[in-house]
Structure 1
Amino acid sequence: MIVVALVPGPAVITITSASLTGGFKRGLYLTIGVIIADYIFILFAISGLAIVAETMGTTFIYIQYLCSIYLIWFGISLWFSSNTLQNKRQKSIVRYHVRIYVNY
């Protein structure tokens, strides 16, 4: 999760390119705009979930429980699954490098 947080997203790349092409002031304005847009998006998401929860009542709670049960089942099935796809990928990578080495 730390790696995902450290990798720059599209907003960072946009702000960097705007700062390099338009200067500090343009980058600052764009940064402020991105922060305001993020806060508005978070506010809409929170209020939208609150409205959905209010209108659905107890059905929303049942949906939450069903989703949590599904996620637990999915995690357990992933935990106990075999890594056949990963093994196939590793074998194909090895074959690829062997073919390059042998010039096949």
Structure 2
Amino acid sequence: MQEEVYQTIKSMKEKYLPDLNDMHRKISEVCQQHDSLPHPPKSEQIERLRIFKNMLDKMMGFLNLPKSSVIPSLKDKLASYEEQFLNILTLNRAWKPGPP
């Protein structure tokens, strides 16, 4: 059972991790730019980005879970994780501006 769950996570990692990494990198850049301002204003949007970045950290951590840490009970949560990945990536694609 552990091997089956691990292989499913590995497959999801190959599918979703590159796009999640890209999103994470872009959000991190925006947050760093904001923080590098001499007197960064308090911004609700930046706070939301930071919360979203933390969520991405957790999701990417799940995809990078070592085989030794995979427990059989994760099998019940795989569909939920995949749905979350798809929802986030779909939203991200919808926000990207199209070609001019």
Q: If the length of structure 1 is used for normalisation, what is the TM-score?
A: 0.26
Specify the structure having the higher radius of gyration (Cα): 1
Structure holding more helix per residue: 1
Normalising to structure 2: TM-score of the pair? Answer: 0.27
